[in-house]
Chains A and B, each alone.
Chain A
């Protein structure tokens, strides 16, 4: 498996997929390129309808691309039917064969590959142990709970040791508690088997907790690819910053003062930024800044920062959220942890200042 460390597990080059024709045509994927590394837990994250399933189905071979190619460990897959791709799928509906037992379901792929019976039996036992369902081999899928069916679907897809496992929102049908359990379970399975996982979800929290890398998608395009930290701390696009976690957006123009980059905000005040500023003719360019609520701090009105007025203060147990308004009416949220002595006693209407460290400010491309 790891013998070709250099080659990516999956590579997509300029993939486009158009459904329908003429006026009804839907461009589900628009010139998508990406590289998924070996042994990686890779997540496709985006709102419903952004093309995640379509991308997964192109990799699995259930759809053919309108344009572009898919490569598996450097080999072109385009044109190969699903049964000729060493890639397996965990379907959203699980798609367990209802007329077969759990054991027969898990052995199905091995049987189609022509593995001898003793090998299949041994492998089924091994897979049942892996997903902690020993003793369930003779049950029918209908006799299992949703969570157990999910495990069988995983065992079935992993049994033939595929090079890549595709998972299309596999946890969305489970209740919250089970979903949390399965998140940990999936991560464990991925580490234990060393198989590359391509995981689809619209749940940003799920993506952040499980993934090695995330591709954020919108309207058939990939907006940003990066580790959870990169995606969360350094979103490059407004959509990414907005979709993942909570964000305050500040509009302004970039200039330079005393050799440092400064943003002149719409509220009339300046904010010092990291990185290069823009002097002279190039200066004054419009910019959108993103600041996470937990990265800003409220200080007394005589301190340094952006003047703001307190609106609602919401106590949320572990932390408190302050809903503020800047001088020009822009809303701004600050969240701080409720450790001993940290809670500010602020009444609605009070004047405060917001201190934002340059490192907490992310410049967005659009």
Chain B
């Protein structure tokens, strides 16, 4: 680690050790989980040798594959819907300053700070009140709603960083509103939309609390299934599925980050 001696923090003795403990605390459990997913032993916590058999077991388990399928369906559909809604919201918010614009912007982002359990209970209550039968569709609707702010923020940020004069330049050069949007705004906004969409996808894929509340029979997603498995005991299969999900998540977050940073 390179040390910046001008930073007064480094004069605090033990800062180095604290830093290492901090990172160990963050990442050691994950590393252990990945390591144990390759454990040959049926008892997940006792190491007896290297094996990839549990990945095979996971892929052979129809319930797991079905849960993974549900997760992908939910994540894909709600990502599309949420990203579309977020894009329209961001465009609408950028169109002009109007009274209460800041308030509405805050309302769009508010679900990010509402405790998830509250959203979960409220969503369940809502579905019951309107008589919506719990199933995969309720999960998709719920996911769409809570994914909107995650998709909205990167799109909004991208739009805000865009020179207003670009839209005016398009209009100046004989592009009507639709042409200006299609030829200038959308191509420039695209990285923000992709980035927001990927974030929404990963948030949906990962969600447990809300899904647990609103998933009806046959709508079990992967996190909900893992939770069910873990109640029986930690098995190497759980470790293997978790590792697979981790890989998918890292992939998407990295992509989202890279695309978000893309300048043009």
In the complex, B176 has a CB within 8 A of chain A? yes
In the complex, B231 has a CB within 8 A of chain A? no
- Give the docked Cα–Cα distance between A82 and B176 (Å): 9
In the complex, A292 has a CB within 8 A of chain B? no
Q: Mark B186-204, 1 if CB is under 8 A from A, else 0.
A: 0110000000000000000
Of A83, A113, A142, the contact of B172 (CB 8 Å cutoff): A83
Instruction: List, in ascending order, chain A residues with CB within 8 A of B179's CB.
Output: 112
- Give the docked Cα–Cα distance between A98 and B170 (Å): 12
Of B172, B176, B184, B187, the contact of A88 (CB 8 Å cutoff): B172
Q: Mark A345-366, 1 if CB is under 8 A from B, else 0.
A: 0000000000000000000000
Interface residues in A156-211 (C-beta closer than 8 Å to B): 156-157, 160
In the complex, A252 has a CB within 8 A of chain B? no
Q: For chains A and B in complex, what number of residue pairs have CB atoms within 8 angstroms?
A: 64
Q: Mark A106-118, 1 if CB is under 8 A from B, else 0.
A: 0011001100000
In the complex, A91 has a CB within 8 A of chain B? yes
Task: Output the nearest chain B residue to A108 by Cβ-Cβ distance.
Answer: B173
Of B169, B175, B187, the contact of A95 (CB 8 Å cutoff): B169
In the complex, A339 has a CB within 8 A of chain B? no
In the complex, B163 has a CB within 8 A of chain A? yes
Task: Output the nearest chain B residue to A93 by Cβ-Cβ distance.
Answer: B165
Of A82, A89, A92, A99, the contact of B187 (CB 8 Å cutoff): A99
- Tell whether A99 pairs with B188 under 8 Å between CB atoms, given A91-B168, A91-B169: yes
In the complex, B94 has a CB within 8 A of chain A? no
- Tell whether A142 pairs with B264 under 8 Å between CB atoms, given A95-B163, A95-B166, A95-B168: yes
Chain B nearest CB, measured from A206 CB (Å): 21
Of A87, A89, A99, A142, the contact of B169 (CB 8 Å cutoff): A89
Q: Mark A40-63, 1 if CB is under 8 A from B, else 0.
A: 000000000000000000001110
Q: Please determine whether B175 and A97 come into contact, CB atoms closer than 8 angstroms.
A: no
How many chain B residues touch A (Cβ–Cβ < 8 Å)? 19
- Tell whether A142 pairs with B263 under 8 Å between CB atoms, given A95-B163, A95-B168: yes
Of B165, B184, B187, B264, the contact of A140 (CB 8 Å cutoff): B264
Q: Please determine whether A156 and B173 come into contact, CB atoms closer than 8 angstroms.
A: yes
Of A82, A98, A99, A113, the contact of B171 (CB 8 Å cutoff): A82
Interface residues in A95-152 (C-beta closer than 8 Å to B): 95-99, 108-109, 112-113, 140, 142
Q: A82-B172, A83-B175 are in contact. List 20 more A-B contacts (CB 8 A).
A: A60-B172, A61-B171, A62-B171, A83-B172, A83-B174, A87-B172, A88-B172, A91-B165, A91-B168, A91-B169, A95-B165, A97-B166, A97-B169, A97-B184, A98-B264, A142-B263, A156-B173, A157-B172, A157-B173, A160-B174
**A-B residue pairs in contact (CB < 8 Å), sample of 24:** A61-B171, A81-B176, A82-B168, A82-B172, A83-B171, A83-B173, A88-B173, A89-B168, A89-B169, A89-B172, A91-B169, A92-B165, A93-B165, A95-B168, A96-B169, A97-B166, A97-B170, A98-B188, A108-B173, A109-B173, A112-B173, A140-B264, A156-B173, A160-B173
Q: List the interface of chain B (C-beta within 8 A of A).
A: 163, 165-166, 168-176, 179, 183-184, 187-188, 263-264
Q: List the interface of chain A (C-beta within 8 A of B).
A: 60-62, 81-83, 87-89, 91-93, 95-99, 108-109, 112-113, 140, 142, 156-157, 160
